C-alpha cells in the first residue's frame, strides 16, 4: 500500500517560532510536494521537488523553505511562523506518471 506519512497531525506554535513539518514516503517516488489548504482558496502549491537536493517554488513560496536531503523525505520549514500561516498543510508524492498520493495532513495553528 502507498504510504505518505506526515510527522504531526496537529501543531500549535507561537509567532516567530521556527516550525518544521516532516513528510516521508515509502514508494520510492521522485516527486514530492507541499500544499496548503485554506477555506475558499483551495489547495495551493508551496514548493515541490523532483529529486534529492532539488527544489522548485510553487505558487506561494513566500515565508517557507524546504529541504530534501533523502529521496523519501521532504521537509517544509517556516523560518519565523506568522499568524497568516495558520492552515492545513498537505504533503504529497507522485510517480513519474503523475499519480499523486497525499499524507494525512498537518493542521498548524500559529498564535
Partner 1 sequence: GIQVEQSPPDLILQEGANSTLRCNFSDSVNNLQWFHQNPWGQLINLFYIPSGTKQNGRLSATTVATERYSLLYISSSQTTDSGVYFCAVPTYGNKLVFGAGTILRVKS
Interacting residues toward partner 1 by CB under 8 A: 2, 31, 33, 37, 42-43, 45, 48, 50, 56, 58, 88, 90, 92, 94, 96-105, 107
Q: Rounded CA gap, 91 and 6, in Å? A: 7
Cβ nearer to partner 1, comparing 63 with 105: 105
In angstroms, give the least distance from the CB of 80 to partner 1. Answer: 25
Length of the chain: 111
In angstroms, give the least distance from the CB of 57 to partner 1. Answer: 11
Which candidate, 34, 21, 32, places its Cα nearest to that of 78? 21
Q: Rounded CA gap, 27 and 37, in Å? A: 24
Amino acid at each position: 500500500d502507498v504510504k505518505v506519512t506526515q510527522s504531526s497531525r496537529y501543531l500549535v506554535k507561537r509567532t516567530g517560532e521556527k516550525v518544521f513539518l516532516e513528510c516521508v514516503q515509502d514508494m520510492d517516488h521522485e516527486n514530492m510536494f507541499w500544499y496548503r489548504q485554506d477555506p475558499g482558496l483551495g489547495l495551493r502549491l508551496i514548493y515541490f521537488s523532483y529529486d534529492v537536493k532539488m527544489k522548485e517554488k510553487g505558487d506561494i513560496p513566500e515565508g517557507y523553505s524546504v529541504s530534501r536531503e533523502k529521496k523519501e523525505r521532504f521537509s517544509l520549514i517556516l523560518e519565523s511562523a506568522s499568524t497568516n500561516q495558520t492552515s492545513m498543510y498537505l504533503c504529497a508524492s507522485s510517480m513519474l506518471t503523475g499519480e499523486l498520493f497525499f499524507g494525512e495532513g498537518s493542521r498548524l495553528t500559529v498564535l
